[in-house]
Structure 1
Amino acid sequence: MDVQSTARDGQDKARRAANSSAMDAAARWGFASRGVIYLLIGVLALRVAFGSGRQADKGGALAELGAKPMGSVLLWAVGVGLAGMALWRLSEALFGLSGPDGSKAGKRLLSGGRAVFYGFSAYSVLAFAVGEKGSGKGSSDQESRDVTARALELPGGRWIVGAAGVGVALAGLWIGGRAVLRKYHKHLKLGEMSRVQRRFVDVAGVGGGSARGVLFTAAGVFVVLAAVAYEPDKAKGFDNTLRSFTDTPAGPWLLAVVAVGLALFGVFSCSMARWRKV
């Protein structure tokens, strides 16, 4: 067998693995794991709105999960689920997404970026599960300030940070806009869902996606402000971004609305674990 035949056989095996039932299960486990994290962030943010000081970000969610009975097992389950999500997104980047336009370069590149993101997320959760200090449970606010400070020290650092902030803000607008327009419908098995189920998923999808979009947009704006002022402390992670909503005229009620929305996104992610086309 020549080298080309061997390579083709390897590609065929990899493609079959990407389309296997195991990969389907990995993707669905990943959606459920993402749902658990966002549901907990939403609950923690709601507590912040009504006076609790608990950290409302992924680190706070992991600490909350780890404190539950069998918390270590739950952390491992979430970490493995996120790793499964990373593998599924990687398979999309390599072999294309489902659907008629799934082979477009832009979509595959986006899946590649998501694979990297979920890979890092899985690592941080699993590191936290095995007790590695400083992993997973760290404050997103401190991480944001540290990264911003290092970036500002680079040549053209202010422009780099500003561009990153604009990118995050635009991503938030894109996330919220797609949620409002119900773009997720094309990824759902709508024919297998009842009218009540579709309505339930729409409430969670639109409300949750909009809240997630608002959060990303606000976080991006704070990064831009840090670049303009050349002050890394102005950059905020999810926790301080959420808390900043209480400084608006709406006060804690705006935070409460966004918190409920983030919890809804957690519910939506769990719904995707059931109804998503993979």
Structure 2
Amino acid sequence: MNTSAMAQSGRFRARRMARGSVTEGAARAGFTARGVIYLLVGALALQIAFGDTGRQADRGGALQELAHQPFGAVLLWALGIGLVGMALWRLSEVVFGSVGKDGRSPRKRLMAAARCAFYVFVAYSVLAFAVSRHQSGNSSDQQSRDATARALEIPGGQWLVGAAGLVVVGAGGWIAVRAVMRKYHGKLRLGQMSRRTRRLVDVTGVAGGAARGLVFAVAGVFAVRAAIDYEPDRAKGLDDTLRSLAETPLGPWLLVCVAAGLVLFGVFSFAMARWRRV
């Protein structure tokens, strides 16, 4: 066997291992962990909508809720390890490509790299919380304001913050539109579902994805406003973004609908953990 053939065989074996049971298990654990976080954030947002304003509807609030449950430390570590699995799976997509006919394209690899970096950060924050059992750093709202203030201080900071806000608005719209168009069908093993299960998955995927996209878009709008007005305090994290929905003419009912949508997205993440093609 010549050197080229050996190298090709080696790459094939490496790719097969990356798609093996370990990577698949890591991905499914990651989707499960993501589902838990969205379920908790949505539930906390529902409590805020019905008057319990002392709650914090973001990842920090979700971790606090888990910490107060029986075996809270075990749950936190399991959540963090699941998110590490998600990051490793996304890293395998960067190196070996993802499923689908264009899974090895530069665009898909770049998206996988961005998602890997995001889940590395989230996993680190969860594991740091599991170690200390105290909220690591500030809330998502304070983190957003601090990051915006630092960005505005650099040359061209207003343009940078404004552009970042527009990107987030676009990402939110992209998430929502793809959910409504059910683009996730191409990533699911639909043949393994019953007709009733598929309908339930569509309810959670469409409503949950639309709600998630709306939250992203609103957060992006606040970032753009912060850039235009040169006021970092106008930037909002997840908690303040959700609370702002209750201040619209629709009152708390818009927040109720979005919060319920986030809960559904958590359920959809569990469906992804079960039926996602990895």
TM-score by length of structure 2 reads 0.95
The answer on 1:116 being equivalent to 2:107 is: no
* Cα distance in 2 for residues equivalent to 1:17 and 1:132: 36
* Cα distance in 2 for residues equivalent to 1:33 and 1:6: 39
Equivalent position of 1:41 in the other structure = 41
* Cα distance in 1 for residues equivalent to 2:255 and 2:185: 28
The answer on 1:103 being equivalent to 2:124 is: no
Paired amino acid for 1:58: R
* Cα distance in 2 for residues equivalent to 1:156 and 1:134: 33
Q: Deviations over 1:197-218 (max 9, x none)?
A: 0000000000000000000000
- The residue correspondences of 1:29-68 to structure 2 (distance < 5 A) are 29-52=29-52, 53-68=54-69
Shift in CA distance, 121/9, structure 1 to aligned 2, threshold 3 Å: farther
* Cα distance in 2 for residues equivalent to 1:231 and 1:134: 26
Equivalent position of 1:184 in the other structure = 184
Shift in CA distance, 7/157, structure 1 to aligned 2, threshold 3 Å: farther
- The residue correspondences of 1:214-233 to structure 2 (distance < 5 A) are 214-233=214-233
Q: Deviations over 1:163-194 (max 9, x none)?
A: 00000110000000000000000000001100
Equivalent position of 2:72 in the other structure = 71
* Cα distance in 2 for residues equivalent to 1:151 and 1:94: 32
Task: Could you tell me which runs of 5 or more consecutive residues in structure 2 were left unpaired when the two chains were aligned.
Answer: none
Paired amino acid for 1:274: R
* Other structure's SS at 1:155 match: coil
Query: Mean alpha-carbon deviation: is it higher for 117-126 or for 95-104?
Result: 95-104
Equivalent position of 1:175 in the other structure = 175
* Cα distance in 2 for residues equivalent to 1:140 and 1:12: 42
Query: How far apart are 1:101 and its partner, in Å?
Result: 1.5
TM-score by length of structure 1 reads 0.95
Query: How far apart are 1:14 and its partner, in Å?
Result: 3.9
Shift in CA distance, 145/4, structure 1 to aligned 2, threshold 3 Å: farther
Q: Deviations over 1:78-134 (max 9, x none)?
A: 100010000001111111111112111111110110000001100100010001755
Query: Mean alpha-carbon deviation: is it higher for 30-39 or for 4-13?
Result: 4-13
Query: How far apart are 1:20 and its partner, in Å?
Result: 1.1
* Cα distance in 2 for residues equivalent to 1:33 and 1:138: 22
Paired amino acid for 2:166: V
Kept after mapping to 1: 8 A contact 2:64/2:135: no
Paired amino acid for 1:204: T
Q: Deviations over 1:132-157 (max 9, x none)?
A: 7552x731000000000000001100
Paired amino acid for 2:157: G
Query: How far apart are 1:27 and its partner, in Å?
Result: 0.1
Matched residue pairs, number? Answer: 276
* Cα distance in 1 for residues equivalent to 2:153 and 2:62: 32
Task: Could you tell me which runs of 5 or more consecutive residues in structure 1 were left unpaired when the two chains were aligned.
Answer: none
Kept after mapping to 1: 8 A contact 2:60/2:135: no
* Cα distance in 1 for residues equivalent to 2:214 and 2:77: 30
Query: How far apart are 1:6 and its partner, in Å?
Result: 9.7
Kept after mapping to 1: 8 A contact 2:87/2:116: yes
Equivalent position of 1:147 in the other structure = 147
Kept after mapping to 1: 8 A contact 2:67/2:133: no
Of all paired residues, the percent bearing the same amino acid is 63
Query: How far apart are 1:7 and its partner, in Å?
Result: 7.7
Equivalent position of 1:82 in the other structure = 83
* Cα distance in 2 for residues equivalent to 1:133 and 1:179: 35
Query: How far apart are 1:16 and its partner, in Å?
Result: 3.3
Equivalent position of 1:23 in the other structure = 23
- The residue correspondences of 1:130-169 to structure 2 (distance < 5 A) are 130-131=131-132, 133-135=134-136, 138-169=138-169
Equivalent position of 1:239 in the other structure = 239
